[in-house]
Amino acid sequence: MQLKSTSALATLLAAGLLAVSSLANASALDQFKTFVSSTKSARGEFTQKQVRTSPSSKVTPPSSGTFLFSRPGKFIWQYQKPYEQLLQADGDQLYVYDKDLNQVTVKKLGNALGSSPAAILFGSNDLEKNFTLSEAGTREGMEWLRAVPKSKDTTFEQIGIGLRDGIPQAMELKDTFGQTTVLQFRNFQRNPALSPNQFKFEMPKGADVFNQ
């Protein structure tokens, strides 16, 4: 009986290792499609920095914070350093809160995600409607995917997504002004339990509100 139990456990472990190995060796496009189809929500931490493209180019200081999202169109993107700023969407409205100014800008979410980088993580599963996806090789231990917006009405020229073991580890955002912004993700948790009111925006007391 003990031998049979051990054998069953070994079979399960072997199957699990095979699945991980298969995912690790999958192309960036396959990993990304699996991620999109199987990840309804996620949370984690991020760092963001601009890459200096020339000695004279100006770059903003690196920033960091946390994120939480639930597809489609619900997210909380919280900058914590070097200053606090909140971008929050409840599926209908987008709220941008500047804590230092105690100011909230409200926009109709609508199709605003569209071909923006936010659509990669927060949008619907139909990404190929808004992006042309292609393989971009292996670099820094990650398989890279290139996403080029189909719409011309966007400030981004292309977006790179670096994946490892089926999870986005980094994004490179190249805009039409020749600047590149790099996002790196840590502690990426897929499909966490979320409360129904998780993305309801609470208006800060005394905040100036601007509707766009």
Go through 61-89 and write b for each residue having 16 or more CB atoms within 10 A of its CB, e for each that does not. Answer: eebbbebbbbbbbbbbbbbeeeeebbbbb
Q: What is the spatial distance between Cα 147 and Cα 168, in angstroms, rounded to a whole number?
A: 13
User: What are the phi and psi torsion angles at 15 (to 5°)?
Assistant: -65, -40
Peptide bond into 72 cis (omega under 30): yes
pLDDT for 185: 95
In the beta sheet, which residues pair with residue 51?
Answer: 180
- What domains sit in the chain, N to C, each tagged with a CATH number? 25-211 (2.50.20.10)
pLDDT for 23: 53
Question: What's the maximum distance between 2 C-alpha atoms anywhere in the chain?
Answer: 73
pLDDT for 21: 40
To which H or E segment does residue 149 belong?
strand 142-149
Q: What is the spatial distance between Cα 130 and Cα 4, in angstroms, rounded to a whole number?
A: 52
pLDDT for 112: 59
Q: Are 168 and 162 in contact (CB under 8 A)?
A: yes
pLDDT for 31: 92
93: tokens are 């409205």
Q: Provide CB contacts within 8 A for 45, sequence distance 6+.
A: 64, 65, 66, 67, 185, 186, 187
Q: What is the spatial distance between Cα 8 and Cα 86, in angstroms, rounded to a whole number?
A: 49
pLDDT for 152: 79
Written as tens digits, the pLDDT of the chain (212 aa) is 433 434 443 333 343 333 334 455 688 999 998 998 899 999 999 999 988 666 666 777 899 999 999 988 899 999 999 999 999 999 899 999 999 999 999 988 875 566 667 777 887 667 788 889 999 999 999 999 999 988 877 788 899 999 999 999 999 999 888 889 999 999 999 999 998 799 999 999 999 999 98
pLDDT for 10: 39
